[in-house]
Amino acid sequence: MELTFLGTSCMVPTKERNVSGIFLSYKNKGILIDCGEGTQRQMNIAGINRNKVDYIFLSHWHGDHVSGLIGLIQTLGNQNAQNEERPMIHIYGPKETEERIENLLKTCIFENKLIMEVHEIIPKNFEPMKILETENFIVQAAMLDHGIPCLGYAFIEKDTRKIDMKKVKEHGLREGPLLGKIQQGETISFEGKTISPDMVSEVKNGKKISFILDTAPCNGASNLAKDSDLLICEASYASKLDEKAENNKHLTAKQAAFIASNSNAKRLILTHISQRYKTPEEVLEDAKDVFNEVEVAFDLMKIKI
């Protein structure tokens, strides 16, 4: 599992920071969180195959989070131009996403060769809701407070069992269907013996990554962040500009750190940094007053999890 920050700026790109975009590579799946202007180019620079995007999760429809979407749709649609089978992608977003995708497709003249399944997510209150489940992971979404429909997301890897082959051999077991059942957490019978999963394997806890990209302090952010191994959170301003943050429904770095601390997050990475900060020091120190395991993201930063 590898995370790449494609854009870490707030509202407008700068020489050092592009606007919002994060790519999560998990096993054979590519997951894109937001798609600001220039996301495709950032993917190229980062060595990420743009055609490997399977899911797009949109936080909200402000331009700095979606303005690269139409170009990416065209690129993905052309990936199998010689193939009869049209490529498919899942797009998740807040209320009005279906309508806005339809309108977006009308802004350029091109043949859409991409099959898109658009999922419009409307959580109740600020409680996380499961919006996607695969064999290996779950994705939750919760409403945030940004003045328009806005979502935060949590990627939750499922727990797995790690087989101890030495213990397996001690019980006379071999690779096959019975071992597969143990991998699924089932107790088996073998040669008159009952063998439970805990006798020959151990649980490897899955990782949780939460994405809180634009919001004022709210329960939705805290609920999503709970027990995160990694919390990625916007920090548009340092605390000296807390009134500006409140007016624009953004977080200060210190507020992001409070969310991490109060939600039992293990690690915090700050992003969506205002262009006024030429270096990350002020934002970083503001957060470190509250939470020590914190760093400020930079464009093309990669993290293996």
Closest CA to 127 of 112, 137, 139, 142: 142
Q: Angle between the 69-78 and 39-46 helix axes, to the nearest 10 degrees?
A: 60
For residues 231 and 257, the answer to whether their CB atoms sit within 8 Å is no
- Give SS3 for 275: coil
Q: What is the 3-state secondary structure (H, E, C) of 98-112?
A: HHHHHHHHCCCCCCC
**Amino acid in position 96:** E
Instruction: Give the rounded distance of the alpha carbon of 145 from its chain centre.
Output: 18
Q: What is the DSSP letter of 207?
A: P
220: which 2 tokens?
């939705």
How many angstroms separate the CA atoms of 153 and 131, rounded? 10
- Give SS3 for 278: coil
Q: What is the DSSP letter of 273?
A: B
> Which residue among the candidates 34, 54, 64, 145 is catalytic per the annotation?
64
Active site residue 286: no
List the catalytic residues: 64
